[in-house]
Structure 1
């Protein structure tokens, strides 16, 4: 018998997209698949659309609904219901190309400590039409270094996971408000999981708005992002690898401190303290002007200057491209 793959879709108020997401799963060339949809207390017509598909494909689609508890809780519930040897977590507004699962299963080759990444790209809404944007190029070398030092990432929706591996990792951290996928991916890397790639199919990451929970730089989101790296530090310490990766982790904290300082100086200071403790001046990276201002007036004052510039006529005169040289990358 062929390996069963479970596709888990958390759904909250996604009536505009859920049918396309389900359709992209049904059109996979690989079988057998089970599509598990967890409706997270939707108040629009999402649940009605899911019910219609489940009635039409009762052997393939299973769904459950309940109160709104967040995407991580929905994914964990789907994981508990899954019977497949492998799982893929697809968001309700994203898409899979037909050959994606087939390519990933072939690359996994039955191994239980291997996570398989498919090709992926963005589909960005410009306000008038959809524009395809290639995925950012990754850095060569140790992938943990690339993720911490440079912010490289693979969307979790592009990854096929052995189900038992996700369970062994503890599933999704339901206390996090942002970067939950980065947390799971980093835990897997730190646990020694091998990440391999498939050249078939692809995941399409739809970006129709920046107004998402994970995209908003709210206090809860920023604090969660800091906690993800604090968890990484603790895991590195427990495995006696902190000395090896401490500067890379410091760069991650510094990058986050720069982003947080304009929104919440308390959290910016918290992330910066981690960066300086772990890496000192070696944690500072980015454009020459960013580093020059950092060394001259400090990150907090530097970000206040940049924030002031972006809210004055100077911003309109210089334009975003000119102001970007003051950022960390």
Structure 2
């Protein structure tokens, strides 16, 4: 029997035919010797199933789960981790790529931390559809020293306030998922909710290494985050409501208020008027509304669009 921890990599596939071979090869190339691979196909409609079958035939140790019909990331992952046995888990989308020593580095870090640490996250390299490098998640100086904010410890307030972590870089202690009972399957995406709930109970550790290549392409969830009528924003509102119930200190409340202001502005400026109204009403419960946000609430009620202002800003700043 192995004396080193078992790591389960839950490989989530939905129409990743173009990237699947590179992704699965990166999992099988890990230098860490004690890995369980669980592939979950969320009813792909492209050629993903055929590619997965070739891997199952060549690698009988891979476990395979089909969701039978498209259920979304949260449910697909829950099916995978509940069928797994690992002491630690990685939620791995099969359009991303693991660097060969990813698991080894994170397990080495975990062995130096006590049980209060539930999550280790790292830096990531961003790649495009053609696997070409386009940057990194965190900013660094010319000597490679970290410039961005990447905290360790009990970081509920920080995770509530702003986007910090690149989700596919996380390795999670199994106990965290068991405590939380997995992802909330009523949500359209998982990371914000997972961060909020887990960081109240467990410490996070930032490992200053690049361990993962995250693919940025047209079908990425983040590309359509504020698309009009998108389910993602509705899920954000639910998570903010959960966070409001978890807030205990004045600092945490300020972080929540900052998040609500940010989400409300973006919801309104993308013509998601009902979502903007819901966020502003939640903000009103937590703090006295500044005059500008009272005005924003009025505009949301009457569905007066200023989305052109956001488009103009992005065109000036990013040329898009």
Normalised to the residue count of structure 1, the TM-score between the two structures is 0.81
SS at match of 1:280: coil
Which of 31, 44, 47 is the equivalent residue of 1:45? 47
Determine the C-alpha separation between the residues in 1 that align with 2:13 and 2:56. 14
Contact conserved, 1:122 with 1:205, CA < 8 A, in 2? yes
1:209 paired to 2:221 = no
1:111-126 alignment to 2 at 5 Å? 111-114=114-117, 115-125=119-129
Residue in 2 that maps onto 1:196: 205
Once the two structures are TM-superposed, the CA of residue 257 in structure 1 deviates from its matched residue by 0.5
Once the two structures are TM-superposed, the CA of residue 148 in structure 1 deviates from its matched residue by 2.4
Residue in 1 that maps onto 2:292: 294
1:275-314 alignment to 2 at 5 Å? 275-280=283-288, 294=292, 298=296, 301=299, 306-309=306-309
Listed one character per residue, the Cα deviations across residues 16-70 of structure 1 (whole Å, up to 9, x for unaligned) are 11111111111111111111001111121111111111211212x1111122211
1:143 paired to 2:150 = no
Determine the C-alpha separation between the residues in 1 that align with 2:273 and 2:250. 28
Determine the C-alpha separation between the residues in 2 that align with 1:322 and 1:22. 34
Cα separation, partners in 2 of 1:85 and 1:111, compared to 1, 3 Å: farther
SS at match of 1:36: strand
Contact conserved, 1:6 with 1:86, CA < 8 A, in 2? yes
* Aligned length, in residue pairs: 300
Residue in 1 that maps onto 2:252: 245
Determine the C-alpha separation between the residues in 2 that align with 1:276 and 1:264. 18
Cα separation, partners in 2 of 1:83 and 1:111, compared to 1, 3 Å: farther
Cα separation, partners in 2 of 1:203 and 1:277, compared to 1, 3 Å: same
Once the two structures are TM-superposed, the CA of residue 182 in structure 1 deviates from its matched residue by 1.3
Once the two structures are TM-superposed, the CA of residue 301 in structure 1 deviates from its matched residue by 4.5
Residue range with higher mean Cα deviation, 214-223 or 47-56: 214-223
Residue range with higher mean Cα deviation, 27-36 or 196-205: 196-205
Contact conserved, 1:120 with 1:203, CA < 8 A, in 2? yes
Cα separation, partners in 2 of 1:225 and 1:10, compared to 1, 3 Å: same
Once the two structures are TM-superposed, the CA of residue 129 in structure 1 deviates from its matched residue by 7.7
Contact conserved, 2:121 with 2:169, CA < 8 A, in 1? yes
Once the two structures are TM-superposed, the CA of residue 152 in structure 1 deviates from its matched residue by 2.5
Determine the C-alpha separation between the residues in 2 that align with 1:225 and 1:185. 12
Contact conserved, 1:261 with 1:300, CA < 8 A, in 2? no
Determine the C-alpha separation between the residues in 2 that align with 1:323 and 1:62. 45
> Comparing both structures, which one devotes a greater share of its residues to helix?
1
Once the two structures are TM-superposed, the CA of residue 118 in structure 1 deviates from its matched residue by 2.4
CA-based RMSD: 3.0
Listed one character per residue, the Cα deviations across residues 238-268 of structure 1 (whole Å, up to 9, x for unaligned) are xxx1544112101111111011113221210
Which of 158, 173, 191 is the equivalent residue of 2:184? 173
Determine the C-alpha separation between the residues in 2 that align with 1:55 and 1:322. 46
Once the two structures are TM-superposed, the CA of residue 201 in structure 1 deviates from its matched residue by 4.8
Listed one character per residue, the Cα deviations across residues 49-92 of structure 1 (whole Å, up to 9, x for unaligned) are 11111211212x11111222111111001111111111010101
